[in-house]
Every structure is written in structure tokens, then in C-alpha cells.
Amino acid sequence: MKTIKSVNVGSFALYGAVLVAFWTFVFGLTYWILGWLFGAQSWWIDMNLGNWTAYTFQTFLTVIWRSLINAIPGALAGLLIALVYNAVAGMMGGVKLNLE
């Protein structure tokens, strides 16, 4: 039996940031594509093609920006989880794993 007595706080913060940024981008991209597809069915699309193209590009950039901004709370969550685990593992002995 191996015991995990502590974890690297920096790697947990990075993991949280990447995880949150990735899923924010995936869901944002999905909703961006759906909005682009269903927005193209509107009656005024032929009159404002330039505006519609600029709008969809700006919305796509917003998805990327939101992914980067959401990475900050993800990093803080990973940091908090690692700190709590290290504190509890110091008192309780850590998680025991059976590696074969």
C-alpha cells in the first residue's frame, strides 16, 4: 500500500485552471455554433451580412476571452482543494492506494 501524504499545490492550481478553461471553451463554442446556425435563419440576415459577420466574430472572441477569465476561479479552486488535502492528509495520514 502506497500513501499520498501531500500533493503539489501548483500542479493542482494549473489542473483546475486548464480544466475550467477547456470546458468553458467547449460549451461556449457549442452555444456559439448554435447561435450562428439559428441566427442565420432570421429574416434580416441578407440586409446586414456585414454586421452579422462582425457579430459572430465578436461572439467567438468573447468565448475565448471568457475561457481565459474563467480559468482564474478554476485555479483558485484547485489551489484550495490542494491546500485542504494537504492539511487533512497531515492529520489523517493521506489516501492509501494499492498499486500492483
Does the structure show a pLDDT above 90 at 47?
A: no
Q: Domain ranges in the chain?
A: 2-97
The amino acid at residue 2 is K
Query: pLDDT by residue (tens digit) across 72-83?
Result: 999 999 999 999
Beta strands in the chain (DSSP E): 2-4, 95-97
Q: Which residues pair with 96 in a beta bridge?
A: 3
Q: Which residues pair with 97 in a beta bridge?
A: 2
- d(CA 78, CA 84) in angstroms, rounded, equals 10
Q: How many CB atoms lie within 10 A of CB 63?
A: 18
- d(CA 89, CA 85) in angstroms, rounded, equals 6
Q: At what angle do helices 49-92 and 9-39 cross, to 10 degrees?
A: 150
Query: pLDDT by residue (tens digit) across 55-95?
Result: 788 888 999 999 999 999 999 999 999 999 999 998 888 88
